Structure 1
Amino acid sequence: MYNNSFFKKILLVATVFVLYSCDKDYNEVGGDIIGGNNFNLASTTYSVLGYNLKTGPIQSNNLDVNPLGIYNNPVFGETTANFNTQLALSSFVTSIGARPYVESVVLTVPYYIDETKTKTNANGSHVYVLDSIYGPQMAKMKLSVYESGYSMVNPGPITGYQEQTFFTDQNDLFDTKKEPTVLNDSDDDSQNNEFFFDSSEDVVDVKDSLTGVKTTKYIAPAMNLNLNKAYFKTKILDAISSGKLASNEAFRNHFKGLYFKVEKSGSSAGNLAMLNFKAGKITITYNQDLASTTGGAPTREKKTIVLNMSGNTVSLLKNDYTVSGSAYNSLPSVGDNVAGDERLYLKGGQGSVSVLELFDKKDIKGYDSNGNLTSGPNGVPDELDDLRNPGKGKKVLVNEANLVFHIDASAMTGADEPQRVYLYDFKNNRPIIDYSDPTSNVSFPKKSKVVFGGLLKLDATTKRGSTYKIRITNQIRNLINNKDSTNVKLGLVVTENIANTVSSKLKTANSFISQAPKASVMNPLGTVLYSGKSTVPDEKRLKLEIYFTKPN
């Protein structure tokens, strides 16, 4: 959620930036045109053809954040998200004392928190609201954590020094190879059979061993699971003397990682959370005897071994469309790339991408290098040709150009809405020029690049999503002013992180698509937008809006 006062400041800065940019470009582009009132402000809309492409299984290893849980989306069906990760030693251990005894083994993964809604009580405790949780609040599900039985090999001679590639549909590979013991076997059902994402903070009373003073620590909400102590005594402590904890390479060959598996718990629908597993860890606390250097009785000492959830990871997704009979499920792998689709279905994870083609395809005329009209097509849409050639000695000065996407509110009833969509160069799988927007948001990094846009705009009455607006001013200026520029197809996806523009490979590429933005794979949500097809009502239809100065 936005912090209102902070966001207003950001908007003010962004507005100044836009006005400055427009004025700067106006002067630069129009500097060679002499005269006083020889310009007219005008706005025009142009056609946009849009169609859908399903990605199918897609590369999902080493994502920035990963989903875990079960989410029933009324539009896109049910997603079950499991996860596998390697572990790494925070420090190497080469020796251990006598009579080692495991006191506790605790797995911790922090939750994302909506800090704008955090309340601090008089005693120093807090009331938190979790962020990036989808589905019914406190919905329960069965969570099982296993030792992974599949080796995710690091780049080296075995892999030809290439990163291993894993895909969203490979859950069976990890599930069938997991070790049989459930590690989170606490008697507390909230840690396994009736697990839920708890927003309560942990309250820990601490007594100073020297002064005896008691203090209370308040720890932000996190997944805290007590793991099987006997298992880790055998697997970890007993392996120290044989050198299994002397290096991370030796350790990962010995303990391949963790596999997180979720299942429905009774009639509960479950819910899903985005988690930063890389901030997670396992803390093993144990006691050992250290031999006395003076020949006396041994000293009992408390020690810890920390296993960080770093290294290779993979997000494992299962989509079930039978629960909703969704329109998304009935989409072909490739939509109507000739006439366009009426709706654009954007779905993260193992989902779908929309492709946009700017300007009407009609091409019955052309212009020569001097701007003279010629007969016959030239491979450039006539609408774009006319903008490039307004007349001898004249130029079209673009002040602003936008794409405004209207949400199909009826189709999205009851569904969580993505906070942002991302437009990119689909042909070359890279950002468009306007992505270079320098505006930032320190408190909410996902809300940076507000001039470029793509942020969800809410309807004032329904408080539901209304539109997404993306600014493509420089993209259009470049197309008009540089006649050699290609009018490339643009891709549109949901995004979890606007700063991440890396692409992930499709498991099965085709002649239309071979990769999609990685930040889309991270996002479990989807949305339904109206396209630019002529059968869509005019007030909802996707159009390219250009505000420009035309020479008289």
Structure 2
Amino acid sequence: MYNNSFFKKILLVATVVIFTSCDKDYNEIGGNLIGVNNFDLNKASYSVLGYNQKTGPIQSNNLEVNALGIYSSTNFGETTANFNTQLSLPTFVSAVGARTFVESVTLTIPYFTDDTKTKTNADGSHTYVLDSIYGPEMAKMKLSVYESGYFMRDADPLESFKQQQKYFTDQDTEFNSLKVGSPLNDSPDKSQNDEFFFSPSEHVVVTTDSITSVKSTKYTPPGMQLNLNKGYFKTRILDAANSGKLASNDVFKNYFRGLYFKMEKSAGAAGNLAMLNFKAGKITIIYKEDVASATGSATTREKKTLVLDMAGNSVSLLKNDYSATGMTYNALPSTGNSVDGDDKLFLKGGQGSVAILQLFDKTDVKGYDANGVVTAGPNGVSDELDDLRNPAGGKKLLVNEANLVFHIDAAAMSSSYEPQRIYLYDYTNSRLVVDYTLDPTSSSTSPKNSKALFDGIIKKDATTKRGATYKIRITNQIRNLINNKDSTNVKLGLVVTEDIEKINSYKVKTPNAFITQAPKASVMNPLGTILYSGKSTVPADKRLKLEIYFTKPN
């Protein structure tokens, strides 16, 4: 749901703001000092240890966007993304009239499109380009939509304070085993089931006025549009109204427990995967019924509409296949080398992996007393950080800017979709870093593209047009570490993100001493990337570094 043209613009704006911000910091810091050459501008690079941590199955209910489809990656295997959602009634129905006849049952879910590439044609129609689709264009897959037999609770009865019931990425077998009957999308049109594909074509409806015979055309942007079994919905939904099953959502959700979307390969084709806002989806039932007059002496035939929306509980169900030979990711241990670090950092969304970072070299053979005098023996603080806190001459270093610069393994990622953004957070405490909090930038185009100073946006090579680096600004994090000697040098977590403004964390299914939760926005993202770490075995020009720009009083 990002588009590249927007990112080129936001990068330009961010660059200007960053340099302006750096200049502002410099002037404010040095403003009370007298003389022309009060400062020398310096740049220094410091060590960063990084290693991989897999999440295992992770909470995936009630996400803002969900994956649906099949996506194959040479680095991270094949993911099949299924989905389950409750339905709810915007309008309650206490009864329906006699001789009910269902004219149509239509399921619709909008697709994301790239607005910068939308074209309006001379006849008023439009040409769209879909956004957030990964894999071959218009790849065919088998889509089956079933009534779900799995009751999704609102609250967990085993938790205190009625906490939200958690559902996890690895529960597809459970939901699949409780699906009801046959697929509801049983249209003879194979593009709605056995040969389904995400089509960029808009939907066109032509109507003719019954009196004037004038035709009018209505254009609707691309989206999933499935004709569902009319007889099934007459029996299960409309006929149930007279027994009170549609009188409240609590009753209805227990009676009709939702829909289960199942994706399978079609004739061995690779398939592709789309990010969808299912909560914007709905089922529209158009039917006719006999309605008695107020006196009951006569009846009239009326057309009515009943809408079922998808605003209830939902869960993203992910099946990962790592069977392809040479799958490096599958061979990775659940927890990487936390002592010496891993050579490469594998960030994977969904049921994936996090990179854990520790700033500054771990060497600790000395300390400093309250007067800044070196003492013998370790003090539990990295010597690199200790030296920054206690500079020679006792004059404080003034940090203008500090960045983590990550280099992408371009060779490994050459044939893969690349995540447009990564996100850094306080892994130790599962909370924001201060630079994220203090970043005031926002985006009028999309809230998810805000926090441009904090960054994490992919930078592309001018020649290959492929990802080269990511940079994350942690100036205030470093200032606090240096200026406040009681500040803890916490571990930092790095993940792919689908939405920079979604900052809460989701629980892993099996927590352990190494990991208990990961950012929700990472669970939402289906992609992965491979970055070089800060290990000494990595070539110097690709090595992960903490770059600090600082001024030192003369």
What TM-score does the superposition give when structure 2 sets the normalisation length?
A: 0.96
**1:209 Cα shift?**
5.3
Q: How does 1:146-225 map to 2 (within 5 A)?
A: 146-155=146-155, 161-208=162-209, 212-225=213-226
Taking structure 1 as reference, are residues 172 and 291 closer, same or farther at Cα in structure 2, changes over 3 Å only?
Answer: same
SS of the equivalent of 1:103 reads strand
- AA partner of residue 373 (structure 2): N
Q: Which residue of 2 aligns with 1:508?
A: 510
Q: Which residue of 2 aligns with 1:491?
A: 493
**1:448 Cα shift?**
1.7
**1:498 Cα shift?**
0.5
Q: Which residue of 2 aligns with 1:478?
A: 480
> Is the counterpart of residue 268 in structure 1 residue 269 in structure 2?
yes
Contact 2:50 2:338 in 1 (8 A): yes
Q: How does 1:103-182 map to 2 (within 5 A)?
A: 103-155=103-155, 161-182=162-183
1:300-346 per-position Cα deviation (integer Å, ceiling 9, x unaligned): 10111100001111000010001343100000011111111001000
Q: Which residue of 2 aligns with 1:461?
A: 463
**1:391 Cα shift?**
3.6
**1:458 Cα shift?**
1.1
**1:450 Cα shift?**
1.5
- AA partner of residue 490 (structure 1): L
1:406-428 per-position Cα deviation (integer Å, ceiling 9, x unaligned): 11111112111111111111101
**1:14 Cα shift?**
3.1
- AA partner of residue 432 (structure 1): V
CA RMSD of aligned residues (A): 1.8
Q: Which residue of 2 aligns with 1:383?
A: 384
SS of the equivalent of 2:40 reads strand
Q: Which residue of 2 aligns with 1:101?
A: 101
- AA partner of residue 531 (structure 1): S
**1:213 Cα shift?**
3.3
2:537 aligns with one of 532, 535, 538: 535
SS of the equivalent of 2:498 reads coil
Taking structure 1 as reference, are residues 8 and 53 closer, same or farther at Cα in structure 2, changes over 3 Å only?
Answer: closer
1:343-377 per-position Cα deviation (integer Å, ceiling 9, x unaligned): 10001111111001111111111111222222211
Contact 2:3 2:131 in 1 (8 A): no
Find the aligned partners of 1:7 and 1:398 in 2 and give their Cα distance. 28
**1:38 Cα shift?**
2.7
1:277-315 per-position Cα deviation (integer Å, ceiling 9, x unaligned): 000000011001112346664211011110000111100
Q: Which residue of 2 aligns with 1:69?
A: 69
Taking structure 1 as reference, are residues 208 and 155 closer, same or farther at Cα in structure 2, changes over 3 Å only?
Answer: farther
Q: How does 1:246-261 map to 2 (within 5 A)?
A: 246-261=247-262
Taking structure 1 as reference, are residues 210 and 549 closer, same or farther at Cα in structure 2, changes over 3 Å only?
Answer: farther
**1:26 Cα shift?**
3.2
Q: Which runs of 5+ in 1 are unaligned?
A: none
Q: Which residue of 1 aligns with 2:233?
A: 232
1:4-52 per-position Cα deviation (integer Å, ceiling 9, x unaligned): 5x66664554345334433443344445655542311111111111000
SS of the equivalent of 2:410 reads coil
- AA partner of residue 478 (structure 1): N
Contact 1:77 1:324 in 2 (8 A): no
Q: Which residue of 1 aligns with 2:58?
A: 58
Find the aligned partners of 1:43 and 1:115 in 2 and give their Cα distance. 41
Find the aligned partners of 2:45 and 2:158 in 1 and give their Cα distance. 55
Contact 1:74 1:324 in 2 (8 A): no
SS of the equivalent of 1:453 reads coil
**1:227 Cα shift?**
0.5
Find the aligned partners of 2:159 and 2:512 in 1 and give their Cα distance. 25
Q: Which runs of 5+ in 2 are unaligned?
A: none
Find the aligned partners of 1:168 and 1:33 in 2 and give their Cα distance. 57
**1:207 Cα shift?**
3.2
Find the aligned partners of 1:466 and 1:447 in 2 and give their Cα distance. 19
Q: How does 1:76-95 map to 2 (within 5 A)?
A: 76-95=76-95
**1:208 Cα shift?**
4.1
Find the aligned partners of 1:238 and 1:21 in 2 and give their Cα distance. 65
1:416-453 per-position Cα deviation (integer Å, ceiling 9, x unaligned): 11111111111011111111312122224332211111
- AA partner of residue 499 (structure 1): E
Contact 1:75 1:324 in 2 (8 A): no
**1:191 Cα shift?**
0.4
1:464-516 per-position Cα deviation (integer Å, ceiling 9, x unaligned): 11111111111111111111111111111101110001111111112111111
Q: Which residue of 2 aligns with 1:292?
A: 293
Find the aligned partners of 1:346 and 1:398 in 2 and give their Cα distance. 29
1:207-246 per-position Cα deviation (integer Å, ceiling 9, x unaligned): 3456553210110000000001111001001110111111
Q: Which residue of 1 aligns with 2:332?
A: 331
Find the aligned partners of 2:108 and 2:147 in 1 and give their Cα distance. 16
- AA partner of residue 251 (structure 2): A
SS of the equivalent of 1:366 reads strand
SS of the equivalent of 2:386 reads helix
Contact 2:343 2:534 in 1 (8 A): yes
Find the aligned partners of 1:122 and 1:252 in 2 and give their Cα distance. 46
Contact 1:286 1:304 in 2 (8 A): yes
Find the aligned partners of 2:245 and 2:163 in 1 and give their Cα distance. 25
Taking structure 1 as reference, are residues 2 and 184 closer, same or farther at Cα in structure 2, changes over 3 Å only?
Answer: closer
Taking structure 1 as reference, are residues 347 and 132 closer, same or farther at Cα in structure 2, changes over 3 Å only?
Answer: same
Find the aligned partners of 2:117 and 2:357 in 1 and give their Cα distance. 38
Using the TM superposition, name which of 76-85 and 210-219 deviates more: 210-219
Taking structure 1 as reference, are residues 358 and 36 closer, same or farther at Cα in structure 2, changes over 3 Å only?
Answer: same
- AA partner of residue 488 (structure 1): V
Taking structure 1 as reference, are residues 38 and 89 closer, same or farther at Cα in structure 2, changes over 3 Å only?
Answer: same
Using the TM superposition, name which of 392-401 and 402-411 deviates more: 392-401
Using the TM superposition, name which of 542-551 and 18-27 deviates more: 18-27
- AA partner of residue 119 (structure 1): K
Find the aligned partners of 1:271 and 1:538 in 2 and give their Cα distance. 37
Contact 2:414 2:466 in 1 (8 A): no
1:107-131 per-position Cα deviation (integer Å, ceiling 9, x unaligned): 0010010111111101110111100
Find the aligned partners of 2:28 and 2:405 in 1 and give their Cα distance. 27
Q: Which residue of 2 aligns with 1:242?
A: 243
Taking structure 1 as reference, are residues 308 and 235 closer, same or farther at Cα in structure 2, changes over 3 Å only?
Answer: same
Contact 2:127 2:202 in 1 (8 A): yes
**1:392 Cα shift?**
4.8
- AA partner of residue 216 (structure 1): T
Using the TM superposition, name which of 437-446 and 354-363 deviates more: 437-446
What TM-score does the superposition give when structure 1 sets the normalisation length?
A: 0.96
Contact 1:51 1:354 in 2 (8 A): yes
